Amino acid sequence: MTPFNLTQFYADWATILPECFLLLWACVITGAAVMGRTDESKSGTFAIWTIIGTLATAVWVAVTQDGAAFGGTFVFDRLAVVFKEIILAGVILTAAASVGTVSRLRAHRGEYYGMILFSAVGMMLMVSATELLTLYIALELSTVTLFVLAAYHKTNRKSAEAGLKYVILGGISSAILLYGVAILYGLTGTTELAKISQEIQRQFMGSGSFPPGLALALLLILAGFGFKLALAPFHMWAPDVYEGAPTPITAFLSVASKAAALAAFLRVFFVGGQPAQLIWIQAIAALAALAMIVGNATAIVQTNIKRMLAYSSVAQIGYMLVGAVALDPWGATSISYYAMAYLFANMGAFVCVIAFAERTGSEEISDFSGLSRRSPILAGFFALFLLSLAGVPPTAGFLAKYYVFAAAIQKGYLWLVLVGVATSVVALYYYATVIMKMYFPSEQTEGGFPVARTLTIVLAVSALGVLLLGIIPGPVVDWIKAAAQSFVPPT
Amino acid sequence: MEGIGLIHYLTLSAVVFCIGVFGMLTRRNAIGVLMSIELMFNAVNITLVAFARYVTPATITGQVVAIFTIAVAAAEATVALAIVLLIYQHHRGIDVDRINFMKW
């Protein structure tokens, strides 16, 4: 037992300050809403200011504090900074995009923002957790609130159904993940990732063979993460939940929650599981290939735009994990860059769906026909985001795909890259079909409509992100690369 | 071989976990599915406390993780039951086979 040390105490709490700040205001917003003290527009504005405040606090912590806190269970390193910025950007765009959706809810409007903030606290803790219990609790905090949010349209059957499917699959995935964690703990006697890595090195590297228990543990953890990331073949819940949940929540799920799970994945496998890479690296390559094939092939036949984007995001996760097979700083950099590019493109695409559905009440792909006449701005934005998801230059999506493929080729995974390139062509087909429908309709549809102001701002910010990341990636890549080098152990 | 050892607890937990997986796949009642998930969590708890007792008797990490798991599972069950209630209001039943408004 180490004696109490006041300086250490302050340093620990200073490191976790952004989360504390966010948690406090999440409680205030939820509490005020429960007691009926606020109207929803105030809650929304308040939530956005809270996130801006959290961002500022996070920047302050990043500048003044460094390294591990709470006995090494929580770390505020450069990787955490990168992913916290991604998550907070996702949260702020989600909150801004929710304004219209929330105003149409019959009740519990203020709590909606509170739930989003609670979920954000969980995600932020998750990217900083370097210990499996902390990671698990953070993961649960972010997903349990997302269960609530998925079922938030109480009067809508689809939303309730999305909630039920998500809560069941989420529970199963947590149990599977936790079983893996328990076995890993049994084998190594610790839950701290750095020590797990040392233990695996010490116990098993000398013998040259790995015990089946270790393989089981790592594969169970991989399956658990597979559920959270909606990676094929663990993606069955994603299309239903994405379709049924309120669209801003779908965007939030597909962007922020995935970014957080990805960061946790990087920590668990690049740090903790790194000495046992022989076990899991082939599994990840196979899952990535499967996700790219299944996601893209199923997306082609979808008629609902949210379902199409759901399957496309299954494929996108496959592309991100192509970078994971490299298992070096460059691989981690490519994944993080991809997550950032994906944040803006996918968020933008879903906000386009929100803007379209708000005016037309439809989410069918066929109804997008002739959108370029009805709302040129919306059609332009949507085309840009779809092209970025497809990976067409000069958007961020192109460079992101290039980086992950380059990282995999360096390690000799040519077959995986070939699968990736082939499926990208398939992906381009269904994204381009939507764009063709918008710009070259078979019959004319009438009725122009404007886009709500807040949504236009969100769209503009996302478009700016997609283009800036695509045209001048240098500073961002350098920033992420420094982060990746600081946490991936040298091989 | 004397008495009950680590391997027995691990076997027990593996069996309970498999019963949970089986129940989750075969139960048609939403509450039954949730109970199966609880079984899976409890299997994990058995594993955790068994490892804590036999692998790291000096520390209590395993027990702490188990306590947290129980609390988290309770929170999750609360939300899950609320959603099941919501489903009941929409469908007048909680048979998961009938809740297929959206196709897989």
Q: Give me the pLDDT at residue A327, please.
A: 83
Query: Which helix H or strand E contains A67, and what residues bound it?
Result: strand A67-69
A 130-159 residues with CB < 8 A to B? 132-133, 136-137, 140, 144, 147-148, 151, 154, 157-158
Please report whether residue B99 resides in a domain: no
Instruction: Return the residue matching tokens 């599977």.
Output: A176
Question: For residue A182, which residues of chain B lie inside 8 Å, CB to CB?
Answer: 44, 47-48, 51, 62, 65
B43: domain range? 6-91
Name the band, by pLDDT with cuts 50, 70 and 90, for residue A208.
low
Amino acid at A260: A
What CATH number does the domain containing B72 carry? 1.10.287.3510
Find the mean pLDDT for residues A461-485. 89
Q: In terms of CA atoms, which chain A residue is nearest residue B68?
A: A137
Per DSSP, the residues of chain B read: --S--HHHHHHHHHHHHHHHHHHHHH--BHHHHHHHHHHHHHHHHHHHHHHHHHT-TT--HHHHHHHHHHHHHHHHHHHHHHHHHHHHHHHSS-BTTT--SS--
Backbone phi and psi for residue A71, each to the nearest 5 degrees, phi listed first: 60, 30
| Digit-coded pLDDT (tens) for A406-461 | 999 988 899 999 999 999 999 999 999 999 988 888 777 777 788 888 899 999 99
Min mean pLDDT across A57-61, A195-199, A352-356, B86-90 is at A57-61
pLDDT tens-digit profile of A168-204?
A: 999 999 999 999 999 999 988 888 888 888 888 888 7
Chain B partners of A190 at a C-beta cutoff of 8 Å? Answer: 56, 61
Number of domains in chain B: 1
- The band of B99, judged by pLDDT with boundaries at 50, 70 and 90, is low
Task: Give me chain A's average pLDDT, please.
Answer: 88
Model confidence pLDDT, tens digit, residues A272-291 = 877 878 888 888 999 999 99
A463-to-A138, A458, A460 alpha-carbon distances in Å: 31, 9, 5
The answer to whether A410 and A326 are in contact (CB under 8 A) is yes
In a domain, B100, yes or no: no
* CA–CA dist B93, B74 (Å, integer): 23
Residue B60, domain member (yes or no)? yes
Q: Cα A94 vs. chain centroid, distance in angstroms? A: 12
Please determine, for the modelled complex, whether the ipTM score is greater than 0.90.
yes
Res B104: pLDDT: 43
Q: How many helices (H) and strands (E) does chain B have?
A: 3, 0
pLDDT at A490: 57
B68 assigned to some structural domain: yes
For position A287, what pLDDT does the model report?
93
CA B39 to chain A, closest CA, distance in angstroms equals: 9
Tell me what pLDDT residue A213 has: 86
Distances (CA, A) of A155 to A201, A289, A322, A328, B89: 54, 39, 41, 48, 9
Residue among A133, A151, A236 whose CB faces B83 most closely: A151
Confidence bin at A489 (pLDDT 50/70/90): low
Length of chain A: 491
| Residue B76 maps to a domain | yes
Q: Is residue B101 part of a domain?
A: no
Residue A312: the pLDDT is 93
Out of A140, A189, A244, closest to residue B56 by CB: A189
DSSP assignment, residue A274?
G
Asked if the structure places residue B1 within a domain, the reply is: no
Could you tell me which residue, A22 or B99, shows the higher pLDDT? Answer: A22
Question: Which 8-state DSSP code applies to residue A362?
Answer: -
Average pLDDT over residues A110-133: 91
Q: Does B97 reside within a domain?
A: no
Q: For A319-329, what is the mean pLDDT?
A: 89
Q: Both tokens of residue B96?
A: 């998961």
* Model confidence pLDDT, tens digit, residues A8-62: 888 888 888 889 999 998 998 888 888 876 666 677 788 888 888 888 888 888 7
